[in-house]
Amino acid sequence: MEPQSCVNIHKEWDIVGARQLGREMAKRLGFGTVDQARIATAVSELARNIYLYAEKGQICFEFIDNIEHRGLCMTAVDTGPGISDISQAMQDGYTTSGGLGAGLPGVRRLMDEFDIHSEIGNGTRIKAIKWVR
Amino acid sequence: MEEVISKNATNYKELLRNYMESQDEQALYGVEKVSKAFIKNNILPEEIVNLHIQAMAEVCNDLTEDYKNSMNFLLEAMIFYGLAMQEIPLLREEKHILQSEISVAASMQKTLLGTNKPEINGMDIGVISVPAHQMNGDYHHFVKGKDGSLGIAIADVIGKGIPAALCMSMIKYSMDSYPEESMSPKSILKNLNRVVERNVDPSMFITMCYAHYQPQESKLSFSSAGHEPGYYYNAETDTFKEFETRGLVLGVSPDTEYKEYEMTINKDDMVILLTDGVTECRDGDRFIESQEVLDIIKKYSDLPAQEMVENVYKHFERLQDFQLRDDFTLMVLRKNS
């Protein structure tokens, strides 16, 4: 497998593809079943956000393997409208879709590290890492 | 978290083995205790499913692929439950913060809006005001004039809770700024109406009844701004009569004029003022009739006024299963000499 692989998101079906790639890479890195499921769910949420709000974007996976850690890094990039109030979007229970989405706080919980940059009109870039325990 | 899991994992596996062999109730009781320990330590459902998968793999050696696949499927389905569970402590903490803020506000409201029941010669006064929630949207106030007269205000904000309570503070401070005995009920309401109209959100209304009692002449004058009508009890004929009061609620139109009514009170007569929290008590799905309120008042009318209102309140509190739906304020004035 390539050290980096990406999935383009513009149809709902692409969410499934992104989950699958994320899970495969997690398995290859030696994540346990529970963490594989958590990573797949986090991928799902990021991909859904792109599909619902930005229409077009990409999720890329990268192995991190050095002396200190081994882990999976995922980066979700879109060129959508951007998030105007990130603090609000990171609050529990805040989902503009009004549904039972875990949203960004959910992704942060599922992963070990989480970072977000967003610019109005230019899009959003989210990076999340899970370490192999 | 990992420690708790591994500590209980062995336990879980043994209990499971036990149960698989004998379907023993004791094993089920054991797993109940394990599950309590998990909840206490915020162990997520997906971890437990995973624990089960591992335990089963050790306990049985002839597991089918179908079974294994189905359990992985279940694990996947648990992930969102885990996320939802993680929100609980946070929400609990937020609720706690809000609650303590509200209780501070409520005790502040008590201090701000507090009024003392005055001693008036020849008049026995009883009053009770209980909020449905922590903050009270009902308000009552007594002003004792230098000439021995008594001003009585009773008001209700349409709406409950914090906005209603904030609104009441404004009413209280406007009233405090009026010169005491010089003002008649109708001019007080006219004045307050202007204050409310200017300062309060158009969606909020206040009803109020203001009464003024002059003991020398045994004369009661009162005006009402759309407030729940009070009652007059005539001791001689042993009958209640509803006050016929007309007047627009406060805050609707800036130039409202209020009509003033006058009556003479004789010995043992009673004046009953209340808010709609009293008359709109519910017994199950049924609103009570105003006659029921009067019947209960009558029932306790041998008692001193304060005990009377407290007993009436207890009656309706019980009738509503100890859950008030609206703020409850009841005031009884009885001429006793």
Tens of pLDDT, residue by residue over B139-181, are 899 988 888 889 999 999 876 667 777 788 888 888 888 876 5
The answer to whether residue B94 scores a pLDDT higher than 70 is yes
Tokens (6 digits) for B227: 């407030």
In which domain, by residue range, is B136 found?
Answer: 114-335
CA dist B163 and B327 (Å) reads 14
Torsion of CA B160, B161, B163, B165, to 10 degrees: 100
Three-state SS at B75: helix
φ and ψ at A23, to 5 degrees?
A: -65, -40
Q: Among A17-26, B84-93, B237-246, B304-313, which stretch is predicted with the lowest mean pLDDT?
A: B84-93
Same-domain check for residues B181 and B223: yes
Residues B273 and B216 both lie in one domain: yes
Q: Do A109 and B75 touch (CB under 8 A)?
A: no
Q: Band of the pLDDT at A98, cuts 50, 70, 90? A: very low
State residue B164's pLDDT score. Answer: 75
Decide if B291 is inside a domain: yes
Residue A1, pLDDT score: 47
Residue B98 domain flag:
no
- Report the alpha-carbon distance of residue A109 to residue A90 in Å, rounded: 11
Evaluate whether residue B69 is within a structural domain.
yes
Picking from B91, B122, B151, the residue at the C-terminal end of a domain is: B91
Q: Which residue has the tokens 């002449």?
A: B217
- The pLDDT score that the predictor gives to residue A35 is 95
The answer to whether B3 faces chain A, any CB pair under 8 Å, is no
Looking up tokens 């404004």 gives B170
Residue A99: its pLDDT value, please?
44
Fold of A4-131: Heat Shock Protein 90 (3.30.565)
Per-residue confidence at A95, pLDDT binned at 50, 70, 90? Answer: very low
Decide if pLDDT at B89 tops 60. yes
Two tokens, residue A89: 């979007």
CA of A76 to nearest chain B CA: how many angstroms apart? 21
Bridge-based pairing state of the strands B219-225 and B261-264: antiparallel
Residues B177-195: pLDDT tens digits? Answer: 887 656 799 999 999 999 8
Q: Which of A56, A26, A66 is nearest to A43 (CA)?
A: A26
Nearest to B76 among A32, A37, A109 (CB): A37
Q: Per the structure, how many domains does chain B have?
A: 2
**CB B50 to CB A41 under 8 A?**
no
What are the angstrom distances between the C-alpha of B139 and each of B8, B166, B271, B332?
57, 11, 18, 15
B223 vs A92, residue with greater confidence: B223
Shared domain check, B56 and B158 = no
Q: ipTM of this model? A: 0.83
- Report yes or no on B105 lying in a domain: no
Q: Do B45 and B143 fall within a single domain? A: no
| Rounded Cα distance, B328 and B309, in Å | 11
Structural contact between residues B279 and B293, judged by C-beta atoms closer than 8 angstroms: yes
Between the alpha carbon of residue B289 and those of residues A35, B197, B272, B321, the distances in Å are 63, 33, 16, 18
Last residue of a domain, one of B58, B91, B124: B91
pLDDT at residue B13 in the model: 93
Max avg pLDDT among B62-71, B271-280, B320-329: B62-71
Contact call for residues B118 and B150 (beta carbons, < 8 A): yes
Name the residue of chain B whose CA is nearest to A38's CA.
B79
Q: Which of B79, B80, B87 lies at the smallest CB-CB distance from A92?
A: B87
**Quick one: pLDDT at residue B58?**
93
Residue B237 domain flag:
yes
pLDDT given at position B211: 94
Pair B156, B245 in one domain? yes
pLDDT at A103 > cutoff 90: no
Which residues on chain A are in Cβ contact (under 8 Å) with B86? 109
CA distance B32 to chain A (A): 23
Q: Per-residue pLDDT for A72 more than 90?
A: yes
Name residue B39's amino acid: I
Contact B46 A37 (CB under 8 A): yes
Q: In terms of domains, do B31 and B118 share one?
A: no
Nearest Cα residue in chain A from B69: A33
When CB atoms are compared, the residue of B75, B87, B90 closest to A34 is B75
B129 pLDDT band (50/70/90 cuts)?
A: very high
Q: What are the tens digits of pLDDT across the range A23-61?
A: 999 999 999 999 999 999 999 999 999 998 888 999 999
Same domain, B17 and B140: no
Element (H, E) at B163: helix B161-176
Q: Is A131 a residue whose pLDDT tops 60?
A: yes
Exposure of B226 in the CB half-sphere (CA atoms within 13 A): 16
| Secondary structure of A106-119 as H, E, C letters | HHHHHCCEEEEEEE
Q: Are B41 and B19 within 8 A, CB to CB?
A: no
Between B200-209, B277-286, B326-335, the lowest mean confidence (pLDDT) is in B277-286
Is B91 near chain A, with CB under 8 Å? yes
Q: Are residues B324 and B264 in the same domain?
A: yes
The residue in chain A having the minimum alpha-carbon distance to the alpha carbon of residue B50 is A34
Both B206 and B309 in a single domain? yes
pLDDT band of residue A102 (cuts 50, 70, 90) is low
B72, B75, B87: residue with CB nearest A93: B87
Residue B42 has pLDDT above 60, yes or no: yes
Q: Across the interface, do B79 and A93 touch by the CB < 8 Å criterion? A: no
* Dist CA B173 CA B104 (whole Å): 20
- C-alpha to C-alpha distance for B34 and A120, rounded to whole angstroms: 49
Average pLDDT (A85-108) is 70
Determine the pLDDT at residue A96. Answer: 45
Alpha-carbon gap: A32 to the closest alpha carbon of chain B (Å): 10
Angstrom distance (rounded) from CA A34 to CA A46: 19
Q: Note whether B155 and B16 are same-domain residues.
A: no
d(CA B201, CA B167): 10
The residue count of chain B comes to: 337
Instruction: Give the pLDDT of residue B181.
Output: 59
More confident residue, B167 or B59: B59
Asked if the Cβ–Cβ distance from B79 to A41 is below 8 Å, we say yes
Pair (B221, B310) in one structural domain: yes
Summarize the confidence of residues B81-104 as an average pLDDT: 88
* B18-33 average pLDDT score: 92
Nearest-by-CA chain A residue for B49 = A34
For position B87, which CATH number holds? Answer: 1.10.1240.30
Q: Counting Cβ atoms within 10 Å, is residue B32 exposed (0-12), middle (13-18) or buried (19+)? A: exposed
Looking at the structure, tell me whether residues B170 and B85 fall in a common domain: no
Query: What local confidence, expressed as pLDDT, does residue A97 receive?
Result: 44
One-letter amino acid for residue B27 of the chain: A
Chain B residue with minimum CA distance to A39: B79
What average pLDDT does the structure give for chain B? 88
Dist CA B282 CA B132 (whole Å): 13
Q: Do B75 and A37 touch (CB under 8 A)?
A: yes
Residue B296 within a domain: yes
pLDDT tens-digit series, residues B214-246 = 988 899 999 999 998 999 999 999 999 998 888
- Residue pair A130/A38 in contact (Cβ under 8 Å)? The answer is yes
